[in-house]
A and B are shown apart, each in its own frame.
Chain A
Amino acid sequence: MISEHLPALVVVLPLLGAPLCLVLRRGAPAWGLTLAVSWLCCAGAIALLDGVLSEGVVSYALGGWTPPWGIEYRIDPLNALLLVIVSATTAVIAPYARRSVASEVPAERRHLFYAAMLLSLAGLLGIAATGDAFNAFVFLEISSLSSYILISLGPSPRALTAAFRYLVLGTIGATFILIGVGLLYMVTGTLNIVDLGARLAPLGTNRTVSVGLAFISVGIALKVALFPLHAWLPNAYAYAPSVVSAFLAANATKVALYLLFRFYFGVFGAAYGLEALPLETILLPLGLIAAFVASVVALFQIDLKRLLAYSSVAQVGYVVLGVGLANQAGLTGAIVHLFNHAITKGALFLAVGCLAYRGGRMTVAGLAGLGRRMPLTMAAFVVGALSLIGIPATAGFISKWYLVIGAIEAGLWPVAIAIVASSLLAVAYVWRVLEAAYLRPAPEPNAPRNETPASLLVPTWLLAGACIYFGIDGSRTVGAASEAAAFLMNLAR
C-alpha cells in the first residue's frame, strides 16, 4: 500500500517537513524532525532501489493523471541510485547537524535553517524522482533557492556575497535549462522526458533542437560547476556552515550531473544516438581540463574548505570525463563516482566541520599539531583524503579504475594517463594538509588532547568508514552503477 506511493513519498515527506519546522519555532524539535524525515527518506530510497533492481522501472502517475499528459515519477536504476546517494548522505549528516549548527547559527534562526535544509532535500530528491522536464526545473529552483539561504547562514559576512553570487549564476543556469526545455517543447509538444526522446527521433535534427541542446548543456554546466563555469562554487562551499558544505558537496552537484546524464542519454541520445552529441569534442576535454586546472588551483589554497571546494570542481571533471568517454566502463566509472565522491567529500567536509567546531575557521597552516590533538578527527580526514586521491582499498580507487578502463577501451591512452597524472596532483594538495597536521610542530606543544564530541565524530567516521568499506567491497555499488550505465547505453541506441 505505502510502497506503491514511495516514489512520491520520498519527495513529499521533506516538502511537508519544511513548513512543520517553521511551526515548531525551536531549533531542537526542528532538528528532530529533520532527522526523522531524512531517515525515512533513506529507508524509502533503499526500498525503491531494491525494487527497481529486481523488478524493473517503476512509473508513478502523480495525482492519477496518466503520463505523458500528467507528471510522471519514473524510477529507473540510475535515479534510484541517486535517490539513495542523496538521502543516505543526508541521513548521516543530519545527526551531525545538531551540535555543528548550534555552534555556527544563532538560536533564533536554527528552525529556519532546518526548514531550508528539508526544502533543499525535497528539491534534490524531486529532481531525481521526476520524469518531467519542467517539473525538474521547478525542483531545481526549490533546491537552489533553499541552498542560497543555507549558504548565507554561514558565520562570515563573506557567506552573504558567496550566496548572492551563487544566486545570480545559479538562476542564469536554471533559466538556460528552462529555455532549452521550452525549445524542445516547441518542437515536440511534450515535457515528459521519455516521450521527448521518442518524439524527437522521427523529426530529425533541426536548428531548434540544436539550440535547445546548447542551452540545456550550458545551463547544466553552470549548475554542476563544470570548468570554466565553476566560479560560484569555491566561495559558496568555503563560507557556508560546515553542515551545509558537506550537504551540498555530497549532493547538489551530483543531482545536477544526473540531469546531464538524463538529458544527454535519455533525450538527445535516445533520439539521435550518441554520435550526434558533442561528447568527445566538448565534454571529454572540459572534464580533463577541469581535473587538472582545479587540482592545480587547490594546491595553492590557504583555506582548507576552499581547497576541498576546488577539489570538488576537479571531481566533477572526472564524472563529466566519464560521460565523454560514452562507453559502458567509462559511464560505470562516472556513475559510481557520483556515489564514491559523495561519501568521500561528505567525510572530508564533516571532518573539517569537526576541526572548525574546536578551532574556528581552518587554514592549512592552522592545522599544525592537530594530528596529535585530535587524532580521531584527523584520521577520518586522512581516510577521506586517500579516497580522494584514489589509493587502492578506498572508494575513490574503484571509480578511477573504471574511468581508466573506459579510456583504454575507447582507445584513448593519453586520457588514461592524464587521469592518473591528475591524481598525482591530488596527492600533492592532500600532502600539504597531512604534512601540516602531522609533521609540523604544534604551536603549543603541551596542549591537551581535545577530541571532537562523539555526536560529531560518529557521523564523520560513518562516512569515512564507508569510503573504506565500499573501496574493499565495491560489488554492490559497482553492480548498481553498471546496471544504471547499461540502462543509459540502452536508452541511447
Chain B
Amino acid sequence: MRSVLDHYNYWIAIILMVVGLYTVVARGNLIKRVIGLNVFQTSVFLLYISMGVVTGGTAPIVIDDPDAVYSNPLPHVLILTAIVVGVATTALGLALIVRIREAYGTIEDDEISQLEEPER
C-alpha cells in the first residue's frame, strides 16, 4: 500500500492520461476534444517532471555547497519545449474550430457529419 501511495504523482499522471484520452474519443463537441487533448498532454508533462526528481535533491541552480544534490534539470527543459508544442497545437486546433463554425454553423461532430453527408 505504501509503495502505491509513494508514487502518487505517477498515479495522477496515469489518471489524467486516461481522462484526457477518454474525453477526446467520447465527446462530440470539438472544443471539449481540444480540452481532452490538453489534459492528455498535461499528464505527460507531469510524467516527465516526476522522473526528474532526485531524492533529497534541490532545485538545479548551482550553489556554493560542494555536497549539494541537484534534481535532474533535463526533463524540465524537455517539457518546456513540449509545453510550447502543446500551446501551438491548442491554438491551431481552436483556430480550426473557429473556421469550422464559420463554415458549418456548429461545432458538434454529429451535426457536422450530417451536413457533410449529402456531398459524398
Contacts and interface: CB of A to CB of B under 8 A. Distances in A.
Among B33, B78, B112, the one with the most A-chain Cβ atoms within 10 Å of its Cβ is: B78
A149 B92 contact: yes
Q: How large is the interface on B (under 10, 10 to 19, 20 to 34, 35 or more residues)?
A: 20 to 34
A137 B44 CA distance: 13
Among B24, B44, B85, the one with the most A-chain Cβ atoms within 10 Å of its Cβ is: B85
A145 B86 CA distance: 10
B104 to A, nearest CB: 7
A302 B120 CA distance: 8
A99 B70 CA distance: 58
Contact of B33 (A163, A168, A178): A168
Interface stretch (A16-24, A153-161, A281-289): A153-161
A148 B76 CA distance: 28
Interface residues of A, number: 26
Interface in B46-93: 47-48, 51, 75, 78, 81-82, 85, 88-89, 92-93
Nearest to A361: B119
B100 interface: yes
Contact of A185 (B30, B75, B93): B75
B37 interface: yes
Contacts of A302: 120
Contacts of B93: 164, 167-168
B40 A172 contact: yes
B97 interface: yes
Contacts of B24: 168, 172
A12 interface: no
Interface in A360-379: none
Interface in A159-194: 160-161, 163-164, 167-168, 171-172, 175, 178-179, 182, 185-186
B116 interface: yes
From DSSP, what is the main secondary structure of chain A's interface residues? helix
A483 to B, nearest CB: 34
A171 B36 CA distance: 11
Interface in A121-141: 134, 137-138, 141
Given A148-B96, A158-B116, A172-B37, A179 B47 contact: yes
Contacts of A148: 92, 96
A141 B44 CA distance: 15
Contact of A163 (B47, B96, B119): B96
A149 B88 CA distance: 12
Interface of B: 21, 24, 30, 33, 37, 40-41, 44, 47-48, 51, 75, 78, 81-82, 85, 88-89, 92-93, 96-97, 99-100, 103-104, 112, 116, 119-120
- Kindly list the 8 A-B residue pairs having the minimum CB-CB distance in the complex, ordered from nearest: A157-B103, A141-B85, A164-B96, A160-B100, A186-B51, A171-B89, A160-B99, A182-B48
22 contacts: A137-B82, A145-B85, A145-B92, A148-B96, A157-B103, A160-B99, A160-B100, A160-B103, A164-B30, A164-B100, A167-B92, A167-B96, A168-B24, A171-B37, A172-B24, A172-B37, A175-B41, A179-B47, A182-B47, A182-B48, A182-B75, A185-B51
Interface of A: 134, 137-138, 141, 145, 148-149, 152, 156-158, 160-161, 163-164, 167-168, 171-172, 175, 178-179, 182, 185-186, 302
